[in-house]
Amino acid sequence: MNEHYRPTPGTAMEGLDTPCLVIDMDDLDNNMDVIANTYEGRSAKLRGHSKNHKTPAIAHRQIRRGGTVGGVCAAKVSEAEVMVHGGIPSVFITSEIVEPIKIQRLAALADQAEMLVACDQESNARDLSKAAQARGVEISVVIELETGLLRCGVRETDAGVALAKEISSLPGLRFRGIMSHQTIPDMPDREDRAVEAARTIKGVIDLKEAIEGEGIPIDIISTGETWSYDVAAEIPGVTEIQGGSYLMMETHYSYMTEFHYAAKILTTIISTPKPGVAIGDAGVRAVSSLSGMPTVFDRPGVTVEALDSDHAVFKLDSDASLKVGDQVLLIPAQQDAMVSRWDRFIGLRHGQVEVVWDIQARGCHN
């Protein structure tokens, strides 16, 4: 861990050692307020995904600003531990937890906070039940339905109903409902997104009706993500939206202009080896090239041509210039992968350090 570097509030961006992960506080607050306003007066609310920021302080900030269910999603047990220890009262682990050692950790957390977990197998439900009983806790279980990601999740309505019956019958478990996650390619038009969300989420609503038809109550339908944050919330029956990317934003969602690019990598030019080329001190280890090259912020004519492990190669148009020592901000193609490489956010407002947040769940793969 990078223990030593913690700039004092008030430090100007120009004085920061680079590369570093900065977050513009005005943009972050804007993104949180879009969520608060979107869900105001709606029955569906956001359950923000903590995998995107891995920082309890940010989770609390969104909950305070509004629009949420008052809890978060987490991808891993260890990530959930960080959120629970950081005071988040309700955490939904959106992956299947199957290893005995992790089920024990989950059950221990259920003593401290409301814990929900995804499930797609009856044998896993029985293991969760045993662990909950042994500790005298209750674990909330949500069936995962596959609706386009082709990974975890039950595939058919009948299998979902059978699993719901099994979970409902098991001591120590509380059956809560259904979750499903979808991702889409670029789809800027709101109408198109609404149609696509309705199409992909239809299976979830069908399964909900089938389970309720068996007399089993459901109180959570958790689905959607940033691309459908507004349109999925309009589908009757949906209670929670799992959104995360909206907070930091990424070029992948560039069409969602209501959200601002909040998190960026600050890099310094360390070499200008020939005309038209400049080298920055941030590479794959800092910014990630998954989903594509990062985009240069607010410097017309400058693009990222290549990303080595620790160097960015910038290409300059004839009217652009960069000299050694200049700082450049990079917007990620995928913020999730970028954030997972850092130990802290440096929060800037008007170009000065306002806050430094430890990314406490960075590295929480377990």
- In the region spanning residues 91 to 120, those forming contacts with other proteins, defined by CB under 8 A, are 95-99, 101-102, 120
What is the distance between the alpha carbons of residues 32 and 30, in angstroms, rounded to a whole number?
Answer: 5
In the complex, minimum distance from the CB of residue 41 to other proteins, in angstroms, rounded to a whole number? 32
Strands in 134-199 per DSSP E: 139-144, 173-179
Find the part of the chain contacting other proteins (CB under 8 A) among 40-48, 223-231, 252-260, 301-309. Answer: 301-309
Q: Which is nearer to other proteins, 190 or 365 (CB)?
A: 365
DSSP 241-283: E---HHHH--GGGTT-TTS---EEEEEEEEEEEETTEEEES--
Burial class (CB in 10 A: 0-12, 13-18, 19+), 321: middle
Spatial distance between the Cα atoms of 18 and 153, rounded to a whole number of angstroms: 42
Q: Least distance in Å: CB of 24 to other proteins?
A: 19
Angle at 290 (CA atoms; ends 264, 81), nearest 5 degrees? 70
Question: How many of the other CB atoms lie within 10 Å of CB of 209?
Answer: 12
Please say whether the beta carbons of 25 and 349 come within 8 A.
yes
268 is a contact residue toward other proteins (CB under 8 A): yes
155 contacts 146 by C-beta, under 8 angstroms: yes
Tokens for 240, please give them. Answer: 């929670």
What gap in Å lies between CA 358 and CA 86, rounded to an integer? 12
Q: How far is the CB of 215 from other proteins (least distance, A)?
A: 27
Q: Which is nearer to other proteins, 47 or 51 (CB)?
A: 51
| Site membership for other proteins, residue 148 (CB under 8 A) | no
Q: Which of 28, 63, 75, 302 binds other proteins (CB under 8 A)?
A: 75
Q: Mask 12-31, x = binds other proteins (CB under 8 A)?
A: ---x-xxxx-----------
Q: Shortest approach of other proteins to residue 361 CB, angstroms? A: 8
Task: Please state the closest distance from residue 121 (CB atom) to other proteins, in A.
Answer: 6
Q: Which two tokens stand for residue 122?
A: 């009856």
Which residue among 53, 176, 193, 362 contacts other proteins (CB under 8 A)?
362
**Residue closer to other proteins, measured from CB, 350 or 365:** 365
Single-letter residue type at 93: I
Among 45, 47, 51, 264, binds other proteins (CB under 8 A): 51
Beta-bridge partner residues of 92: 73, 116
| 286 binding other proteins? (CB under 8 A) | yes
CA dist list (Å): 308 to 148, 167, 282, 314, 331? 33, 48, 8, 12, 17
| Residue 309 engages other proteins in binding (rule: CB under 8 A) | yes
Residue from 31, 45, 62, 81 binding other proteins (CB under 8 A): 81
Q: Are 141 and 121 in contact (CB under 8 A)?
A: no
- Cα-to-chain-centroid distance, residue 318: 39
Within residues 316-345, the interface with other proteins by CB under 8 A covers 324-325, 336-337, 340-343
Is position 149 an interface residue for other proteins (rule: CB under 8 A)? Answer: yes
Closest distance of CB 295 from other proteins, Å: 16
Give yes or no for residue 223 binding other proteins (CB under 8 A).
no
Q: Which of 285, 298, 317, 350 binds other proteins (CB under 8 A)?
A: 285
Contact assessment for residue 214 and residue 187, using Cβ atoms and an 8 Å cutoff = no
**C-beta of 235 vs 348, nearer to other proteins:** 348
Q: Report how far Cα 230 is from the mean position of its chain's Cα atoms.
A: 16
CB of 66 to other proteins, least distance (A): 26
Number of residues that bind other proteins (CB under 8 A): 71
Q: Which stretch binds other proteins (CB under 8 A): 186-194, 195-203, 216-224, 282-290?
A: 282-290
- Residue 158 contacts other proteins per CB under 8 A: no
Which one among 76, 193, 252, 264 touches other proteins, defined by CB under 8 A?
76
| Choice between 44 and 128, CB closer to other proteins | 128
